[in-house]
Structure 1
């Protein structure tokens, strides 16, 4: 049965749908009369929209072949379908030349996800040959052509009407960067362990069940590792030790930039995941938490030339991806097989539209951009910084006000820390590395550690200390406990011959590789954990901690646990009891930062004496007053921060704060600065065991203080 550009293929569904020209808007836009569908493709010759009654159907209920005159404006193909609504399943077929040598990979046999789809149904199955654009059995590999129809895959795009959701009175908390304490987590790993003692393990709801814990810890923002739709079953290797199939548990291979994954919600994954995520956001906002998404726009999960054809590759491969000179292949600045063409106008608009959607319709508060330097490269790979998409994002009137945090490096050797446009904060990798090495006892770092503690003015002098997101650990690399328990990475279970993951961990095991019951080793490891958290919380900038570090979570030496969806990688909540002393210390040092605004300045120290009493805003010392040792062999440092902020006089006076760090192999006696009509009181001494490591009632100290080896003291004036 044929009616104009409409083909009816399913006699079991006798509804005749009326179509009209539609308008050039991308995605599936719902109104009272139906849905407008739009898709960009420049180099194709034919575009077909298919509707499906059920997500598991492999035969469409309706097929619409778009007219290149009537249903096309510029390079946007569009059509309006009357009398359909929220929940409709659909997919695109895009036909054209299949010529991989010249970067063209059109294949009409592949049902493609809408790049603007707000939900994807079902689960991806890459074991099926049908999702590949080439014949996997052919010796020609991707130069061959597959005629297997991929509609048998349950992954259909889903029409979503966001207007039906009631946000009630939800608003963005808008916590200033200076007051933010970020907690990075993976939704699944955080609560998947049975000893998390919650009902909805491994889900957004599971995080809600743990909100009281997060509030008690003192963090106020959760940074979620990727939640865009991805395929957990994309890894084809097995664990060489257990034989179990490896899983992509981190999700850094996105397949749809508007669609929240159904992997973290309870349900059938047919659209309800969108509203369950909104419930999650609303619940966290009510408790005063911000939500920051770790977003991956630098590449997609379609991989290299041997990957599946799921969306972008089949829609217009040479537009969406940066191709090599031999256009059969992809540039791989991401290290994940392909590189998204982020400074192509169409792709730039897609990314900005995606960010706008997450801000306006999903109410998230900010974004951490994975391998963000790729977004600052042109199509030839050159860094263009202020002329790039990065600038457009920072100046976008809708995205404005959201937190923008960059990972300032990529897998192709780009390292642009401090070079991001105004409006961007950055993961400070130099802070991470210098603190790790200094605490380990390396030499030649005293001057740099002073710079990092003071807010990294060498990197962010034209911005603010708050542009520095300070961290010791993150999902990339060792956990903090593993940092003091392993000399070497142990990634054997990843199935890559321990070749994956960085070798530059700046770690030390203090005598035994891995877990131990040796009390002397456990004491020094705990001491170093407290040293890390103390430096993190007394440094100028925005602190971030990684899930479970507050109670010594271990990944058993795996510093690249992206493929480990096992109990060894799930957060072990029993360790909160086993290391309750560390948890209490971390909770208290976070609160210490909160109550002392002098640790959260929005401007850099000047070193000047504004008061005329001889006390600058910061003074540097060694074991002798005003004699810091910045020589190569130095392993100690002390400083005093004035409680009076003469640059920002809107804040009330705070306590003066004195900090001494000793990473020599011996104890050192530090002279303390003289105070007029005040005395020094000890709050922190990381050498002592709990509860003496952090005193709830600070104790008065004399004019000298012996700082034990591998320990830090923090004093306040009263």
Structure 2
């Protein structure tokens, strides 16, 4: 099959072509240029060098549009044949091209039809995979014509851009805060959803933008987190569901897991109507504001697939039309040639030598240009496959990222599974660098807190740092990223309010999203006015927050959980640009003295207590387990003491009771000259549920309430 060819508009200008150095055409002076670096590069003589990679192409031309051009036309203002050196095509514009505000791309031709694995579409100008900026027709997030633009689903909505004339960004001496991995408190958040709601108090132009995040850094500081993990901020097509009529064409992609460019920031996360160049600057201003507040920035990056879709609904706009067989995994022996280990129609051929370099170059670009502090890799196990999709023990791209000198100081976090069944929790290839989202931690914590039998021993292992999974190859407790909730799945509120998913609003008859949520509704499905049920839910949420913050490893929480955000049981809200995802600042105000206070105090308690977030795994001198019923599946009570051993904080006693009855627990004797002081009891109302300085009066026993947790500190 092949893409429909766009017809040339009547009266379109003839293509301006040139081949030899010094040739002028329509005001343009060009030469063959250099094969490195890839992408557009300003030269010292005032020119611009362009270079792109394609093994399979037989012809590549550089196409340049100025600001006034309609780039839906097949013919750009300038089109320059490029010179081939090896597999790199290059040309240099010596004079005449605009140095800012222009759009450009590549037109590629090659031999062979789609049966060969190629995807030539020569009437389409392709985005540069190395483009530092991407200009979109749409300047406002989520605004645009429904279904096909200009009558052709393959008509480009965005094109490569550059800006070589803006003033250099002034970082004003603001550097990234020094936060060791063992001290990280990660807050997973969405740039747009954080301030898109009117309750954020920001003007309409700023809501949902990088500038919006910068404006509300005060909340992050008050909460106490020191690392934000931003859902995808690479340029993507939020209107991808609306190309043709389908059950999801009412939705807008607000999560961003459909990358179109690995180098350009999402332009429509700039202030309303901002250019790509302006959005890039606002991204830097956001990073600068976060760093000034003592908060590091990690990006959730999607290198496992792109938004170029599959052959059922191809969105040929960049890599697929430049060199499909290099960039993507294909199998020409199959009817469906695009291999799909991501659930999104395609899989990047990440361990091809060039594609591996491409990914590493992208990471280094974000570190150099935007000063980011680390990366979380979506479906990272897909990057551990060879060109045919077979798992690799030592995937070159994973090693290259771990060993690159420029990336030696950044955090690397893997989501260690993919949609093809490659599950690597605890075994992700790591070179002593990579951390992992610990899915086993999530599942065990959910089961124990909701009261399942037979999981107490596993619960103890997970809150102790999962040494059974990570105590190898010089790995540390902090290589386990512990989480109860994440962007996909239930929020913390919904985890204690729904037994099943409620995804009808997604248009797929409730068939999408996970069916295995390990949740418990506390006796009533969904919203209720029953005070007893509501009280139990808040107590369960506190129990989860206690467990997360006392666990060895790196804790991660999700935006909105600090006040009890609800998505009303929808566990797959990727396409809802509304209150299902948007942070509700009014709800935060209601919880400032209640659950938000408790959640924030637990974060600060963890950061202040050196017995938590340890550099090394616990040994017998570090912890005493007050337990003699490890093998009793009916036992749901666990208590232990972390020993101070001269660190100055005080022994810390922690107990979890997942039973439906009180447990009269015998307390260990505190160290000589000290007494137990109660810091946490999740059964008590605020502010008694957390007393930072501790409350004396605890003697030799403590009656732990049903479904409650307790923390005592020897003072």
Q: Which residue number in structure 2 is paired with residue 600 of structure 1?
A: 613
Is the 1:239–1:246 Cα contact (8 Å) retained in structure 2? Answer: no
Q: Which residue number in structure 1 is paired with residue 56 of structure 2?
A: 43
Deviation of 1:182 after TM superposition, in Å, equals: 0.8
Secondary structure at the aligned position of 2:422 is classed as coil
- Among residues 403, 407, 429, which one is paired with 2:411 in the alignment? 403
Q: Which residue number in structure 1 is paired with residue 237 of structure 2?
A: 231
Deviation of 1:633 after TM superposition, in Å, equals: 1.7
Secondary structure at the aligned position of 1:522 is classed as helix
**1:678 is aligned to 2:674:** yes
**1:127 is aligned to 2:153:** no
Is the 2:17–2:79 Cα contact (8 Å) retained in structure 1? Answer: no
**1:484 is aligned to 2:493:** no
Deviation of 1:383 after TM superposition, in Å, equals: 2.4
Alpha-carbon distance in structure 2 between the residues aligned to 1:3 and 1:558: 54
Is the 2:629–2:635 Cα contact (8 Å) retained in structure 1? Answer: no
Secondary structure at the aligned position of 1:598 is classed as coil
**1:688 is aligned to 2:684:** yes
Q: Which residue number in structure 1 is paired with residue 118 of structure 2?
A: 104
Q: Which residue number in structure 1 is paired with residue 315 of structure 2?
A: 308
What are the equivalent positions in structure 2 for 1:374-389 lying under 5 Å apart? 374-389=382-397
Is the 1:36–1:78 Cα contact (8 Å) retained in structure 2? Answer: yes
Alpha-carbon distance in structure 1 between the residues aligned to 2:153 and 2:21: 26
Give per-residue Cα distances to partners, 1:618-652, cap 9 Å, x unaligned: 01113xxxx3534222211011000127xxxxxx3
Q: Which residue number in structure 2 is paired with residue 322 of structure 1?
A: 329
Give per-residue Cα distances to partners, 1:683-705, cap 9 Å, x unaligned: 00001111111113312201000
Is the 2:360–2:401 Cα contact (8 Å) retained in structure 1? Answer: yes
Q: Which residue number in structure 2 is paired with residue 640 of structure 1?
A: 641
Instruction: Return 22-31 or 436-445, whichever deviates more.
Output: 22-31
**1:426 is aligned to 2:436:** yes
Q: Which residue number in structure 2 is paired with residue 155 of structure 1?
A: 158
Secondary structure at the aligned position of 1:449 is classed as helix
Q: Which residue number in structure 2 is paired with residue 699 of structure 1?
A: 695
Secondary structure at the aligned position of 2:703 is classed as strand
Where structure 2 has 5 or more consecutive residues not aligned to the other structure, the ranges are 1-13, 139-143
Deviation of 1:189 after TM superposition, in Å, equals: 1.0
Alpha-carbon distance in structure 2 between the residues aligned to 1:7 and 1:65: 12
Alpha-carbon distance in structure 2 between the residues aligned to 1:102 and 1:24: 29
Alpha-carbon distance in structure 2 between the residues aligned to 1:636 and 1:617: 20
Secondary structure at the aligned position of 2:104 is classed as strand
Distance 1:237 1:30, change over 3 A: closer
Deviation of 1:435 after TM superposition, in Å, equals: 0.5
**1:437 is aligned to 2:450:** no
**1:501 is aligned to 2:513:** yes
Q: Which residue number in structure 1 is paired with residue 199 of structure 2?
A: 195
Is the 1:131–1:310 Cα contact (8 Å) retained in structure 2? Answer: no
Give per-residue Cα distances to partners, 1:370-414, cap 9 Å, x unaligned: 000111122232322434311211111111110000101111111
Alpha-carbon distance in structure 1 between the residues aligned to 2:48 and 2:523: 65
Deviation of 1:61 after TM superposition, in Å, equals: 1.9
Instruction: Return 106-115 or 80-89, whichever deviates more.
Output: 80-89
Alpha-carbon distance in structure 1 between the residues aligned to 2:377 and 2:650: 37
Q: Which residue number in structure 2 is paired with residue 618 of structure 1?
A: 623
Q: Which residue number in structure 2 is paired with residue 138 of structure 1?
A: none
Deviation of 1:24 after TM superposition, in Å, equals: 3.3
Distance 1:712 1:326, change over 3 A: same
Secondary structure at the aligned position of 1:375 is classed as helix
Is the 1:278–1:362 Cα contact (8 Å) retained in structure 2? Answer: yes
| Count of matched residue positions in the alignment of Structure 1 and Structure 2 | 675
Instruction: Return 482-491 or 280-289, whichever deviates more.
Output: 280-289
Q: Which residue number in structure 2 is paired with residue 147 of structure 1?
A: none
Q: Which residue number in structure 1 is paired with residue 551 of structure 2?
A: 539
Deviation of 1:88 after TM superposition, in Å, equals: 2.9
Secondary structure at the aligned position of 1:105 is classed as coil
Alpha-carbon distance in structure 1 between the residues aligned to 2:679 and 2:245: 47
Give per-residue Cα distances to partners, 1:636-670, cap 9 Å, x unaligned: 1011000127xxxxxx3321100011111111011
Distance 1:239 1:574, change over 3 A: farther
**1:413 is aligned to 2:416:** no
What are the equivalent positions in structure 2 for 1:359-374 lying under 5 Å apart? 359-374=367-382
Distance 1:644 1:399, change over 3 A: same
Alpha-carbon distance in structure 1 between the residues aligned to 2:34 and 2:102: 17
Q: Which residue number in structure 2 is paired with residue 391 of structure 1?
A: 399
Is the 1:239–1:493 Cα contact (8 Å) retained in structure 2? Answer: no
Is the 2:622–2:642 Cα contact (8 Å) retained in structure 1? Answer: yes
Instruction: Return 184-193 or 385-394, whichever deviates more.
Output: 385-394
What are the equivalent positions in structure 2 for 1:344-359 lying under 5 Å apart? 344-359=352-367
Distance 1:478 1:417, change over 3 A: same
Is the 2:32–2:90 Cα contact (8 Å) retained in structure 1? Answer: no
Secondary structure at the aligned position of 2:406 is classed as coil
Distance 1:678 1:3, change over 3 A: closer
**1:220 is aligned to 2:219:** no
Q: Which residue number in structure 2 is paired with residue 659 of structure 1?
A: 654
- Among residues 471, 485, 489, which one is paired with 1:461 in the alignment? 471
Deviation of 1:176 after TM superposition, in Å, equals: 0.5
Q: Which residue number in structure 1 is paired with residue 284 of structure 2?
A: 278
Where structure 1 has 5 or more consecutive residues not aligned to the other structure, the ranges are 134-149, 608-615, 646-651
**1:183 is aligned to 2:187:** yes
Distance 1:130 1:159, change over 3 A: farther
Alpha-carbon distance in structure 1 between the residues aligned to 2:396 and 2:622: 38
Is the 1:226–1:295 Cα contact (8 Å) retained in structure 2? Answer: yes
Alpha-carbon distance in structure 1 between the residues aligned to 2:356 and 2:580: 39
Q: Which residue number in structure 1 is paired with residue 484 of structure 2?
A: 472
Instruction: Return 458-467 or 696-705, whichever deviates more.
Output: 696-705
Alpha-carbon distance in structure 2 between the residues aligned to 1:326 and 1:259: 34
Alpha-carbon distance in structure 1 between the residues aligned to 2:511 and 2:343: 14
**1:64 is aligned to 2:80:** yes
Deviation of 1:6 after TM superposition, in Å, equals: 7.8
Deviation of 1:237 after TM superposition, in Å, equals: 8.7
Deviation of 1:328 after TM superposition, in Å, equals: 4.9
Is the 2:492–2:564 Cα contact (8 Å) retained in structure 1? Answer: yes
- Among residues 549, 556, 564, which one is paired with 1:552 in the alignment? 564
Q: Which residue number in structure 2 is paired with residue 612 of structure 1?
A: none
Q: Which residue number in structure 2 is paired with residue 291 of structure 1?
A: 297
Give per-residue Cα distances to partners, 1:582-641, cap 9 Å, x unaligned: 00000111111011011021100111xxxxxxxx2101113xxxx353422221101100
Is the 2:435–2:481 Cα contact (8 Å) retained in structure 1? Answer: yes
Secondary structure at the aligned position of 1:508 is classed as coil
Alpha-carbon distance in structure 2 between the residues aligned to 1:489 and 1:25: 49
Alpha-carbon distance in structure 2 between the residues aligned to 1:215 and 1:480: 21
Deviation of 1:327 after TM superposition, in Å, equals: 6.7
Deviation of 1:40 after TM superposition, in Å, equals: 0.4
Q: Which residue number in structure 1 is paired with residue 7 of structure 2?
A: none
Distance 1:537 1:254, change over 3 A: same
Q: Which residue number in structure 2 is paired with residue 137 of structure 1?
A: none
Deviation of 1:496 after TM superposition, in Å, equals: 1.2
Deviation of 1:220 after TM superposition, in Å, equals: 1.0
Alpha-carbon distance in structure 2 between the residues aligned to 1:244 and 1:416: 34
Deviation of 1:130 after TM superposition, in Å, equals: 7.0
Give per-residue Cα distances to partners, 1:217-244, cap 9 Å, x unaligned: 1011111000011011001399999x98
- Among residues 205, 211, 216, which one is paired with 2:211 in the alignment? 205
RMSD over aligned CA atoms reads 2.3
Deviation of 1:38 after TM superposition, in Å, equals: 0.3
Secondary structure at the aligned position of 1:17 is classed as strand
Distance 1:504 1:3, change over 3 A: closer
Alpha-carbon distance in structure 1 between the residues aligned to 2:298 and 2:87: 34
Alpha-carbon distance in structure 2 between the residues aligned to 1:164 and 1:576: 38
